[in-house]
Amino acid sequence: MSTPTTPRKQRPDRFAELELTIDDLAFGGNGVARHEGYVLFVHGAIPGDRVRAKVTKTKRDYGEAITVDVLEPSPDRIAPVADHPGAPWQILPYERQLEIKSKQVDDALRRIGKLGGFELEPIVPALETWRYRNKLEYSFGTEGTAERGELIFGFHAPGEWDRIVPIADCMLASERGNAVRDQVLAFCREQGLTAYDRRTRRGFLRNCVIREGRRTGQFQVRLVTMPGELDREAFAEAVDCDGLLWTQFDGLGETTAEGDTELIAGSDYLEEELNGMSFRVSPNAFFQVNTEMAEKLYALAGDYASLAGFERLYDLYCGIGTVGLTMAPRAGELWGLEIIEDAIGDAIANARLNEIDNARFFAGDVRTALRLLVDTAGSPDVVVVDPPRAGLSRKVVRRIIDASPKRLVYISCNPTTLAPNGAQLAEAGYVLRKVRPVDMFPQTPHIECVALFERV
């Protein structure tokens, strides 16, 4: 007698072009399709689409593909506003984007975190659905051959580390931000500077980070290059900004966070205003990219913290202190912890700037410094965490549980890492009371939310 066998999934060849029907959306925003049982995550496709897609990656259980042609559009699909690799969800009506984001937060908490009994509050929609970003990182490339091509400035094509899509009007940046970017490009072309090519390791220009103080009107421009020569004076004359910086970096990876930075002109920090308070931001310090929605996010976190005026409040992963300092007037004392020293310098300066005298900030890794903070400051009544996308490690969650706060306000930019952290908290007796998504990133699949856990 033969034993029944499950049909083997057919893994397609890399670079094969397939016709696929999209029946779901994955976390992260790609469409989900099945090809002879094999799961493919398809960039640029939404549920209801029938597309031709090129396979870009294959693993044992799943692969990735990119849409080449839409054969039959989903009834949800709308015409894109801009040719912009950073705005893949512009093919969905904004209301639909909000619905999907809410559902993905709910699904992650229930399915991954096995959490229930919480209230999912309605998503806070964005105030601006275009031109909302205060920070853009552009990359340099060459159109044509490296020897005879024209210098271009834009974003990486989706899924392609070595191809840059030039951008004339970045619809996620303000008009002034676009003008500043054009000045940088014009200067680089005039000087005959060439784009760095990661394959050959030749060329000079790598990236440029442009930051804008949406409330102050200030601009900070940081050019990232390979080590070499730059006409500083001509650069300062060509670009109209409040702080001009130059980072030289010869590492292999594409990053704007490393290298040696020097100030060419103006100030080495940007000034911004949030919820009626003033903040300075150093070039390598984190600042929420949507200023207007950051105000909403922090106000919501403040609501969830329900401070009565006496509490010892911890702000973990505090950056330049924005979250904690907006809450400090309603707390007894504030203790902030952050790994980037310059950001802690900003946080201390920001406390002074806003005449807040119940705040103390420390530079350190939450994984190793949290226990020391508890020894120094005493156990917290309320903890706010705002970690990077990877969420909290199990050890950090354990340390927070050991510190035993009454309330934990968790600001998350990734519900799939919030969920397992929530599950660990639930095992230790913390209840997820409510969660509210806030749309900080319209036209993209990125999701931000605030969750409130209480010790029972």
Q: Binding of ligand SAM at residue 236 (CB under 6 A)?
A: no
- Nearest distance, CB of residue 307 and ligand SAM, angstroms: 17
Tokens of 131: 């031109």
- Nearest distance, CB of residue 381 and ligand SAM, angstroms: 19
- Nearest distance, CB of residue 364 and ligand SAM, angstroms: 7
Q: Binding of ligand SAM at residue 272 (CB under 6 A)?
A: no
Residues 316-345 that bind ligand SAM (CB under 6 A): 317-319, 322-323, 337-340, 343
Q: Binding of ligand SAM at residue 367 (CB under 6 A)?
A: yes
Tokens of 431: 């209840």
> Annotated binding residue at 439?
no
CB atoms near residue 103 (< 10 Å): 14
> Annotated binding residue at 119?
no
DSSP notation for 428-449: TTEEEEEEEEE--STTS---EE
Total residues contacting ligand SAM by CB under 6 A comes to: 19
Active-site choice (170, 188, 413, 449)? 413
Q: Out of 242, 386, 439, 448, name the contact with ligand SAM by CB under 6 A.
A: 386
Residues 65-84 that bind ligand SAM (CB under 6 A): none
User: Is 241 an annotated catalytic residue?
Assistant: no
Residues 283-312 that bind ligand SAM (CB under 6 A): 286-288
- Nearest distance, CB of residue 333 and ligand SAM, angstroms: 18
Distance CA 311, CA 368 (A): 24
Residue type, 438: V
Distance CA 52, CA 61 (A): 21
Run of H or E including 244:
strand 243-248
Distance CA 67, CA 69 (A): 6
Distance CA 100, CA 331 (A): 35
- Of 219 and 317, which CB lies nearer to ligand SAM in the complex structure? 317
> Annotated binding residue at 338?
yes
> Annotated binding residue at 237?
no
Q: CB within 8 A of 239, min separation 6: which ones?
A: 180, 183, 184, 187, 221
Q: CB within 8 A of 123, min separation 6: which ones?
A: 98, 101, 102, 436, 437, 438, 439
**Residues flagged as binding site for S-adenosyl-L-methionine:** 288, 317, 338, 386
**Residues flagged as binding site:** 288, 317, 338, 386
Give the active site residues.
413
Q: Which residues lie near ligand SAM (CB under 6 A)?
A: 286-288, 317-319, 322-323, 337-340, 343, 365-367, 386-388
